[in-house]
A and B are shown apart, each in its own frame.
Chain A
C-alpha cells in the first residue's frame, strides 16, 4: 500500500472509531505521565516474549537484537503520544507491521502483544494521580486507547497485504495448475481424438508450468526413432521432428527408461555420452518429463511428455507431481480410447459375425444347387471334353466361393473355445498333415524340435490346429519349390512354472518384407496368388482368444540357418498351468 492509500485508510478508520482531531488534542500532554513507566513496561514486554518459544524463535539476533527492539518500541510508544498522526506517522506504523510479517511472527502473537501494551499504557494513565482523573484527561486516555486500536488495525492490515503479496502468487499458481489438471481430465473424457488431446496437453503443460517450451515425443514403430507428436513454444518442436534413435542414450531414453517423472537440471548434458549432446535443442536446459506406461502408450510405442526452460534447475517437486497427474490423465485417456475401440470393434464383429453365419448357411444351400446342377449337367455332357472342362471351372468357382464364405465366417463368427489339455507335438503334426494337403508331393518337410517335457497346452485343439495349419500353408505357399519348415518350442519363461509355451515357426522361403509384416494379420491382405487373405487374421483371432500372442518376427535369429532368410512366426499359447 502506498503512502496516500495508507493515510486514507487510516483516516477512514479514525472516522469509523469516531476519533476527531479535537479528541487527539490532549494526547501529547499525556506522554509525561507514561514516559517514566515505559522502560519497565518495555522490559516486561520483552521478558514475556523471550519466555514464549514461538515468539522468541523469530528473534534470532540474541541480546543485541533485543536491545534494538526495545529502543524501537520506546520510539513507537512515544510516537503514538506525540503525533502528528499524519502520512509519515501512518507510514512508520505500517512499516512496523510489514517488518513483523517479514520476520514470520504469528499475527496472533502480535495481537496479544498489542493488547498487552494497551492494557499497560491505559492502566498507567488511569492510575496516575491516584485515579483522580481530570475530565479532559479522561477523553485523552480514551483517544490513546483508540489510537492503539488503530495501530493494531494497521498492523493487521499490513499482515494481510504482505500475505497477499507473498502467499497469493503461490496459491494462484497451485489453483491454476489444479484447474488445468481438472480441465484436462474433462477434455480427456470428452474427446476420443488422441492427436487433439496431445496438443491440448502439451500446451497446458507449457502454460501451467510457466515453461519456455513443451512437447510430446513418441517412438515411431519399425524405425524406432523419437519424433515430436505435439510441440509448444519452440520452433524445434514441430510435429514429426526427429529426435534421434531410441536407445542411443539421450535425455528421452533416460526418461523412457525411468519409472516415474524425471526432473533434469540440464538436458544438454544429462544422460548423454561425452562429447555428444543429450538433447539437440541447445537453448533449453531445465526439464521435467514423464514417460507414459508402455502398455498405455500403445503397442510397441513409447510416449514422453516434457516441459523445458531455458535456465538451469528451474523445476522441482511441484512440477514433478504436476506432470505425474497429467501423465495419469493421459494414460487413462489412451486406455479408455483403446477400450472403446475394442468394444466398438467387438460389437461390429459380433453383428458381422451373426450376419456372416446366416449368410454362410444360406450360401451352402445355394452352392449345393449349383454343384448338383453342374454335376447333373456333366452327366449330360460326358462326351464333350470342352464343355466338361468349362463345367469343372464353374464347379471350382463355386467351391472357391464356398471356401471364402467359410473363412469369413470363421473370422467373424463368435468364437467359443472348447479347451482341453493338448500335447504340443501332436498338434504340430496334425496341423502339418492338414497343411500338406494344400500342395501334396512337393517335397516339403517339417522338422520339429520341441523341448522334452513341455507341459500340455490348455487350448481348443481344433482351433489351434487350424492356427498352425494356416501358418504352415503360408510357409509352403511362400516357397517356390519344397518348403523346409522348422518348429521349435520351449516354455515362455525359463522356469518350471511357466504358464505359456513359445513356438517359433521358421521356413526357408523368401521371408516377409517389412511393409508386409505390418499388415500380415489384417483381414483380406494377401500376397498369395490365390487365397482369401484371412488365414493369418483367423490365426491371430484364435490365438488371442486363448490369451496368447502371434507375431511375425524378424529373421535375425542366430539359430536361423545361414542360407535361410525365411519367415518366422512366434506363437505363444497358454498351458494348463495358467
Chain B
C-alpha cells in the first residue's frame, strides 16, 4: 500500500475522534470517515471503502470488535484496534489471512499510531 492511505476512524470519545482526524494527515493519511459507534463505522466503510480502519474496541451499541468482525465478513480491511483494556485475542482468531490486525493500547501518541498503521497496512516506506 502506498500513501496516502484512506482511513475510516471510529471512537465514542469526541476528544479522540478530533485527535485522530487532526493527527493522521500529519503522517500523510487521509481521513475519509469519522464514526462514533460500530454501526456508523460499518456504514461508512460500505460507502467509502477505506484502505484501513482505526477503531476503538469498546463502544456503545455495536462495539468496534463486533463491527470489524462483520466488516471482515464483507472484505478484508487492515485494522488498528485501539483499546484502554487488555488485549483481547478474540479478533486475532477471526482475522482473515489476507489482511492484518494491529492492537494499539491507550494512551498512545502520533508516532505510535503511525507505526501501528504502517504495521497493519504492510507499508515499508518511511512515512515521515
CA distance A369 to B105 in the complex (A): 13
Q: Which residues A338-385 have CB closer than 8 A to chain B?
A: 361-362, 364-365, 367-373, 375-376, 379
Number of interface residues of A (CB under 8 A): 17
| Contact of B110 with A364 in the complex, beta carbons under 8 Å | no
Q: Which residues of B contact A379 (CB under 8 A)?
A: 22, 26
Cβ of B84 and Cβ of A372 under 8 Å apart?
Answer: no
Q: Which of B12-20, B33-41, B89-97 contacts A (4 or more CB under 8 A)?
A: B12-20
Interface 1/0 per residue, B77-108 and A, CB below 8 Å: 00000001100000000000000000001111
B128 part of interface (Cβ distance < 8 Å):
no
CA distance A491 to B18 in the complex (A): 57
* CB-defined contacts of B16 to chain A, threshold 8 Å: 368-369, 372
Q: List residues 64-84 of chain B with CB under 8 A from any CB of chain A.
A: 84
Q: CA A376 – CA B19 in complex, angstroms? A: 7
Interface digits, A36-54 against B, CB 8 Å rule (1 contact, 0 not)? 0000000000000000000
The answer to whether B23 touches A365, judged by C-beta atoms less than 8 angstroms apart, is: no
Q: Is A272 an interface residue (CB 8 A)?
A: no
Contact A371 B108 (CB under 8 A): yes
Whether the Cβ atoms of B23 and A367 lie closer than 8 Å is no
Contacts of A398 in B (CB 8 A): 107
B109 interface contact, C-beta 8 A: yes
The answer to whether B15 and A373 touch across the interface, beta carbons within 8 angstroms, is: yes
Would you call A361 and B85 a contact (CB within 8 A)? yes
User: In the complex, which residues 254-268 of chain A have their Cβ closer than 8 Å to any Cβ of chain B?
Assistant: none
A470 to chain B, nearest CB (A): 20
What's the Cα separation between A362 and B108 when bound, in Å?
A: 14
Contacts of B106 in A (CB 8 A): 364-365, 367-368
B26 touches A367 (CB 8 A): no
Interface string of A466-486 (1 = CB under 8 A from B): 000000000000000000000
Residue with the greatest number of chain B CB neighbours at <10 A, chosen from A369, A370, A402 = A369
A367–B107 touching, CB < 8 Å: yes
Q: How far is the CA of A209 from the CA of B13 in the complex (A)?
A: 76
CB of A372 within 8 A of CB of B19, answer yes
- CB closest chain-A residue, reference B15: A369
The complex places the Cα of A371 from the Cα of B13 at a distance, in Å, of 14
User: Which among B16, B84, B108 has the highest number of chain A CB atoms within 10 Å?
Assistant: B84
CB–CB A375/B19 < 8 A: yes
Residues of B contacting A376 with CB < 8 Å? 18-19, 22-23
A362-B84, A365-B13 in contact; A371/B107 too (CB < 8 A)? Answer: yes
Cα A399 to Cα B112 in complex, Å, equals 14
A402 to B16, CA, bound (A): 17
Q: How distant is A44 from chain B, measured CB to nearest CB, in Å?
A: 103
In residues 1-59 of chain B, which contact A (Cβ within 8 Å)?
13, 15-16, 18-19, 22-23, 26
Closest Cβ–Cβ distance, residue B63 to chain A (whole Å) = 15
A371 / chain B contacts, CB cutoff of 8 Å: 107-109
In contact, A372 and B105 (Cβ under 8 angstroms): no
How distant is the Cα of A24 from the Cα of B16 in the complex, in angstroms? Answer: 124
| Contact B22–A368 (Cβ < 8 Å) | no
Tell me the complex Cα distance, A371–B19, Å: 10
**Considering residues B13, B19, B26, B107, which has the most beta carbons from chain A within 10 angstroms of its beta carbon?**
B107
Closest residue on chain B to residue A401 by CB atoms: B107
Interface contacts beyond A368-B84, A379-B26, A398-B107: sample of 12 additional A-B pairs, CB < 8 Å, sorted by A: A364-B84, A364-B105, A364-B107, A365-B13, A365-B84, A365-B106, A368-B16, A368-B108, A369-B16, A372-B23, A376-B18, A402-B107
Contact sample, A vs B, 16 pairs, CB 8 Å cutoff: A361-B84, A362-B84, A364-B106, A364-B107, A365-B106, A367-B106, A368-B84, A369-B13, A369-B16, A371-B109, A372-B19, A373-B15, A375-B110, A376-B18, A376-B23, A398-B107
Counting from the closest, the 4 A-B pairs by CB-CB distance are A372-B19, A364-B84, A367-B107, A368-B107
